[in-house]
Amino acid sequence: MSGEFLSGIEKSGVWIKHLIFNSKVHNFQAHSLINGVRMLAIPAAPREKLMKEMLLRVVVLGMLLALQTSPVLAEKHPPRPYKIGLTTVFLDDQTSFLEAWSGYLEKRLGRRVEFVQRKSYREINKLIINQELDAAWICGLPYTRLQANKQNNLLAVALYQGQPLYQSYLIVPATDKTSTNIIDLKNRVFAYSDPDSNSGFLVPQVLMLKQGIDPRHFFAKTFFTWSHRDVIVAVAKGLAQGGAVDGYVWETLAKIRPDITSKTRVIQRSPKFGFPPFVVRTQLPAAEVQRLRAVLLGMNRNQAGKKLLQRLNLDGFVAGNDHLFDGIRSADRYYDRSQQ
Amino acid sequence: MILKDLSYRYKVPMLLSATILITGIVISAVLVWRTAGDLKADLYRNAIEVGSVLSRTLPAAIKHDDLWSAYQIVNAARVDDPENPRLLIVLDKNHQVYVSGEPGRFPVLSYLRNYGVELAGIEKTIVTKPSLQPYPIDRPENTSIYAVLPMVDDGIAVGTLIIGYPRAMLLPRYLDMGWRIAYSALLVLAILLPIGWYIGKLSVQPLTHLAHCLGEVGRVAPRDVQCDLIESKDEFGQLGVSFRQMLLELQEKQRLEQKVFTSERLVAVGRLAAGVAHEINNPLGGMLNAINTLRRHGHADALTEQTLQLQERGLHQIKDTVSALLVEARSDTHELTPGDISDVHTLLQSQVQKKAIQLGWSSSLTRSVHLPSTPVRQVLLNLSLNAVVAARQRCEVNCLLDREHRQFSIIVSNDGQEIKQDQLAHLFEPFVHFSESGNGLGLWVTYQLVQQLKGEIEVSSGAGQTSFIVRLPLRAVA
């Protein structure tokens, strides 16, 4: 009994870690989860004592946090670090890689680099709009939408297979041997990645609309996994019978976790679109924009950078061109029109 | 039945062992039963705990229709044990599968009724029994034990979590537990059984010993039965006492029988001897008269005279022998006086001095008693002379004469050679020789005299001491 119980606890630990790292739950949720699991491990009698203890800890922690973020102390750590937002347009769950990458960037920028991850694209968009982030690696769709309101600027675009382009994949579980088209997925459960994703939402929506299908009533059920990787997992596990995913993410995952991707089958590949770009906030000084761009563009010119790019399954970064995203722009307009 | 014939030496230890064994088995069975119950209760408690953790997050995910979050929550609560998968299914308000730990097996939006009778039954229970409290479903026909945990949000069940534990998962635990209990029971039995066996054997020992002793009775003479029985006040002790009592009575009975047998034989022999003696005495007297007459009136030549003398000697010898056999206690003699006793003492002196024997002589007789003096004197003389003859050089001979109430007793004892058991049986028969000297009629005569005086004579010989006891009843005063 206790064996299973403990393994349950252990598992819960892994699960909570997973949730926290992916920022898929709010702080409050994570906290209550941890508490819940801790409660399980402790007999009823000491629980009350523990509750008091924890309450005390939370208060002390809060005070410490307040001290840390106070302007008086912040002055001790000039200059302000670069805050770079990351979204799930790449495999953002590799913490060791992010560590190495931030180290690389810090070394070349001469300033601390802080990666910021959020559950949804929308939250990162908001931080860019509010000038809270200096830069962010976002999807082409939010870029065009923000660009339309002059709320972000293009910094660089990644080169994937030698081109700053990528595709959206329509995937089904490998057990589904018959489906070849999105039409075959009628009345199935379908997984999108993020409502602000081009490849993980807009592309299949437009694909359906162009075939005269109303996406709102076509599937039996749809849901968002808030990450391309999780769309692949959801389809692989059979939770969804179809999903739209960033082709670059799928191919990259196929290299490091073929056991997951092999449980899925790509049935449709979309036309190519501009690769998810790095953007900067509008008020970031031009000199810093240049500096950031130079560091990114220079990554494929040194060994350390190349190594990081290899892990990203990318060839490098280019300055890019706004016209790369015209395809997304027109698809978005089409989608907008159909919504009205 | 074999058990009936088995010795208690084995039966009692076996019964004791069997009792211990049965007790062990019963206790083990109760323990297994109880622990099995606990195991199920634990399982259900575990389900409740898992449910309570999930109920913190799952209702919100269901309410917001966040299928992916719900899946992650449920998936995290799964146990990755391929042999014992814990089934986790969340049903929505319409009792359709909202999400499950195994979406490949239980796809989203499907109904449990599509997955066999067992899950159809679970669905039916959930549909017909809406509850806000968790409850178990443990039906013997099901392969799993289920816990139904309503996912409650603000007092409304937004969904239902079903946790299923395969019964097969419990089996190895039952076995493991069974083994543990069996091992402990065996250990206890290994300690208790030898103790039980030993105690059983110990408690039966007096019984088997008594049985052995009883077996001896009949095979050997009661006096030879050797039996050391434990002295106690319990049943065995009582049995021992009764047994000893029985042995004593048996001995007494045997002794009496022997006595009766001996005296009857001696009476018969005496009657025969007396009859023969009478028959011989008559012609004998005639023959001696005839020889006398021939001597007195005839003129026998030398050869005839010699023959007559030879015949006369032979006939006298016959007469002596016959008269010795024909013992007759004449009652016409005077009463026994202390002087008669001291006469015998005086008569003994020459023999006593010859053998340097220490003679103990004690008589409580102070005046005459109503007994004929001649036979009593002869009895006393015969016995005391015999004792002196049988005594070793410089040994001890004791004569004790006592008058008490209506009985006169003579006890003559010496510490000479013992009389053997087989000799004792024929001691008072005529012509029985135990010594080189004597004609073998001394004790015969003594016996006959005692008989005629209506007394009794007893011999005991053992431990280097031989005693003759004569008891003579005093005649009533005329």
pLDDT at position A20 is 44
CATH fold of the domain at A82-164+275-326: D-Maltodextrin-Binding Protein; domain 2 (3.40.190)
pLDDT at position B196 is 83
Mean per-residue pLDDT, B433-439: 66
B445's enclosing H/E stretch is: helix B442-452
Task: Determine which of B313-317, B363-367, B421-425 has the lowest per-residue pLDDT on average.
Answer: B421-425
Is a pLDDT exceeding 60 seen at residue A74?
Answer: no
CB pairs under 8 A between A and B: 90
Closest among B419, B439, B428 to B470, alpha carbons compared? B428
Is a pLDDT exceeding 80 seen at residue B341?
Answer: yes
Q: A40 and B173: CB-CB below 8 Å? A: no
Complex ipTM value: 0.74
Q: A25 and B79: CB-CB below 8 Å? A: no
* A185 interfacial to chain B (CB closer than 8 Å): no
A89-121, pLDDT tens digit by residue? 888 888 899 999 999 999 999 999 999 999 899
A250-295, pLDDT tens digit by residue? 999 999 999 999 999 999 999 999 999 999 999 999 999 999 999 9
Cα end-to-end span (Å), chain A: 58
CATH superfamily of B335-473: Histidine kinase-like ATPase, C-terminal domain (3.30.565.10)
Is a pLDDT exceeding 80 seen at residue A4?
Answer: no
pLDDT at position A240 is 95
pLDDT at position B474 is 85
B371-404, pLDDT tens digit by residue? 888 888 888 888 888 888 887 777 888 888 888 8
Query: CB-CB: which of A5, A189, A220 is closest to B46?
Result: A5
Sign of the alpha-carbon dihedral angle for B271, B277, B281, B287:
positive
Reduced 3-state DSSP string for B296-359: HHCCCCHHHHHHHHHHHHHHHHHHHHHHHHCCCCCCCCCEECHHHHHHHHHHHHHHHHHCCCEE
Q: Name residue, tokens 């065995």.
A: B236
Residues of chain A found within 8 Å of residue B107, distances taken between Cβ atoms: 189, 238, 241
Residues of chain B found within 8 Å of residue A230, distances taken between Cβ atoms: 68
Give the CATH number of domain A168-270; options: 3.60.15.10, 3.30.530.20, 3.40.190.10, 1.10.287.70: 3.40.190.10
Residue B96 contacts residue B119 (beta carbons within 8 Å) = no
Q: B108 and A29: CB-CB below 8 Å? A: no
pLDDT at position B425 is 75
A125-160, pLDDT tens digit by residue? 999 999 999 999 999 999 999 999 999 999 999 999
Query: CB-CB: which of A11, A29, A240 is closest to B76?
Result: A11
Is a pLDDT exceeding 80 seen at residue A313?
Answer: yes
Closest among B403, B390, B383 to B335, alpha carbons compared? B403
Contacts of B44 (CB under 8 A, 6+ apart): B136, B145, B147
- Confidence band of A78 (pLDDT split at 50, 70, 90): low
**Alpha carbons within 13 A on the beta-carbon side of A201:** 21
Contacts of B16 (CB under 8 A, 6+ apart): B196, B197, B199, B200
Nearest Cα of chain A lies from the Cα of B207 at a distance, in angstroms, of 54
Q: A1 and B77: CB-CB below 8 Å? A: no
Task: Let me know if the fold of A82-164+275-326 is the same as that of A168-270.
Answer: yes
Residue in chain A nearest B44 by alpha carbon: A1
B281-297, pLDDT tens digit by residue? 888 888 889 888 888 88
pLDDT at position A25 is 42
* A336 interfacial to chain B (CB closer than 8 Å): no
Q: A224 and B68: CB-CB below 8 Å? A: yes
Which positions 122-151 of A are in contact with B (Cβ < 8 Å)? none
Domain ranges in chain B are: 2-173, 235-325, 335-473
Task: Determine which of A27-41, B111-125, B137-151, B260-274 has the lowest per-residue pLDDT on average.
Answer: A27-41
Domain ranges in chain A are: 2-72, 82-164+275-326, 168-270
Q: B69 and A36: CB-CB below 8 Å? A: no
Provide DSSP, B391-440.
SPTT-EEEEEEEEETTEEEEEEEE-SPPPPHHHHHTTTSTT--SSSSS-S
Residues of chain A found within 8 Å of residue B68, distances taken between Cβ atoms: 191, 223-226, 230, 234, 239
pLDDT at position A17 is 45
When computed from its CA atoms, the radius of gyration of chain A, rounded to whole angstroms, is 22
Output the average pLDDT for chain A.
Answer: 84
Mean per-residue pLDDT, B421-431: 79
B292's enclosing H/E stretch is: helix B235-297
Q: B53 and A37: CB-CB below 8 Å? A: yes
CATH class, B2-173 region: alpha beta
Q: Of residues A55 and B475, which shows the higher confidence score?
A: B475
Q: B76 and A173: CB-CB below 8 Å? A: no
Nearest Cα of chain A lies from the Cα of B118 at a distance, in angstroms, of 23
Query: CB-CB: which of A5, A225, A237 is closest to B104?
Result: A237
- Confidence band of B273 (pLDDT split at 50, 70, 90): confident
pLDDT at position B109 is 92
Output the average pLDDT for chain B.
Answer: 85
Percent with pLDDT over 70 in chain A: 77
Mean per-residue pLDDT, B130-135: 89
Sign of the alpha-carbon dihedral angle for B385, B390, B393, B395:
negative
Percent with pLDDT over 90 in chain B: 13
